Amino acid sequence: MASYSVEQRGCPNSLEYMLFYKNDKGQYISPFHDIPIHPDGCQDRFNMVVEIPRWTSAKMEIATKDPLNPIKQDVKKGKLRYVANCFPHKGYIWNYGAIPQTWEDPHHKDENTGCCGDNDPIDVCEIGNKACSRGEIIQVKVLGTLAMIDEGETDWKVIVINIEDPEAANFNNIDDVRKHKPGYLEATEDWFRRYKVPDGKPENQFAFNGEFKDKGYATAIIEETHGFWKALVTKKTDRGICCTNTTLSGSPYYCSQASAEAIVAVAPPCGPPNPTPTEVDRWFFCNKK
């Protein structure tokens, strides 16, 4: 099984903080483009890049427009972004991240949601018992998906479980989540509906009246977004995404390891973390509509 490591640059909780990836040979890679969608050719499993560990609030994400796509904290109006805590939720209620080598095309209108993609890798909510580490790569089973409509864009939220979870054998489809983790899907829908309300935005909406679609539907969506990604890295489409990679020899965006090392070298060295703003722990009480 392939293994990966991360290299921190900049001070955590700062605008300069970045998390770069290396493969098992110590070579720099892009977590977006160089980590395969399926681990070791296992078509029934998917790799997941953990951007945000469960219970944390910092809005970390793969930087799609930066060379080598390090994980960085999202910025709004010049300030680091932390997700609001909408009572009774505190931080993210799953390990949150993305499936590599997928991309939601902003010019593709989904025939069922009626909206185009959000220009990012497909999002994943991992529901296992372990709180993962930022940057960790895990193998997951797909269980289903929720079709969130975020400011007019389709933003799929795929529900998965870590294959190493001690209860993973009990989870094979979305109904198993209802059976073994009662209330979790309802909490997931509630979280996504209201998490932007404290920022003065309206509640998010959902396709299919908020219904979770099953494993087969979710898998088909993932494979579709994998096809969109292939078009992206072969320059058949261009949407302002940085496709610099170190392993896709047929891609026009392929770069040498020396070039990758030069990209990382200009980033500031890792330093001690800055203090977390006190407002990160604030609880918001939102009326449900």
- Note whether residue 234 is domain-resident: yes
User: For 10-43, what is each residue's pLDDT tens digit?
Assistant: 999 999 999 999 999 999 999 999 999 999 878 8
Average pLDDT over every residue of 226-238 = 95
Domains of the chain: total: 1
Given this model, what pLDDT does residue 287 score?
79
Given this model, what pLDDT does residue 109 score?
96
User: For 38-70, what is each residue's pLDDT tens digit?
Assistant: 998 788 999 999 999 999 999 999 999 999 999
- Note whether residue 284 is domain-resident: no
Average pLDDT over every residue of 206-227 = 97
pLDDT at 89 exceeding the cut of 70: yes
Given this model, what pLDDT does residue 2 score?
80
- Note whether residue 285 is domain-resident: no
d(CA 171, CA 116): 30
- Note whether residue 283 is domain-resident: no
- Domain of 106, in residue numbers: 5-275
pLDDT at 289 exceeding the cut of 70: no
Token readout for 5 is 């490591």
For residue 7, the tally of other CB atoms under 10 A from its CB is 16
- Note whether residue 72 is domain-resident: yes
- Note whether residue 286 is domain-resident: no
Q: How large a percentage of the chain has pLDDT more than 90?
A: 94
User: For 242-278, what is each residue's pLDDT tens digit?
Assistant: 999 999 988 999 999 999 999 999 999 999 999 999 9
Average pLDDT over every residue of 116-137 = 98
d(CA 214, CA 254): 36
The string of DSSP letters for 180-241 reads HSTTHHHHHHHHHHHTTGGGTPPPPEEGGGGPPB-HHHHHHHHHHHHHHHHHHHTTSS-SS-
Given this model, what pLDDT does residue 42 score?
86
- What CATH code is carried by the domain that includes residue 51? 3.90.80.10
CA count, 13 A, side-chain hemisphere, 251: 20
Given this model, what pLDDT does residue 174 score?
98
- Note whether residue 100 is domain-resident: yes
User: For 128-144, what is each residue's pLDDT tens digit?
Assistant: 999 999 999 999 999 99
- Note whether residue 282 is domain-resident: no
Average pLDDT over every residue of 78-100 = 97
Rounded mean pLDDT of the chain?
Answer: 96
pLDDT at 72 exceeding the cut of 70: yes
Q: Confirm whether pTM is higher than 0.95.
A: yes
What burial class does residue 58 get, using C-beta atoms within 10 Å of its C-beta: 0-12 exposed, 13-18 middle, 19+ buried? buried
pLDDT at 1 exceeding the cut of 70: no
